[in-house]
Amino acid sequence: MPELWIAAQVRKRAISMAWTPGLVMDYARALRSIVHPVPEPWYQRLSFKWRDDRKAGE
């Protein structure tokens, strides 16, 4: 799970530094994606939307 690795890296760096607003936001975003995973990746959702829009235009 890449999100777990990202959260661990952010936390490891934050131990030696100050928790800046951007660092907190990155950490929260990584944790949110672990706790509330998206059912399908963004590239699949985008490709389905693109296909639907293309069919509607024809």
The string of pLDDT tens digits covering residues 1-49 is 688 888 888 888 777 778 888 888 988 988 898 888 877 777 777 776 6
pLDDT attached to residue 12: 83
Token digits of residue 3: 């999100």
Residue 57 pLDDT exceeds 70: no
- The angle at the Cα of 7, spanning 31 to 36, to the nearest 5 degrees, equals 20
Distances in Å between the Cα of 31 and the Cα atoms of 2, 13, 26, 27, 46 are 11, 16, 9, 6, 23
The pTM for the full model equals 0.52
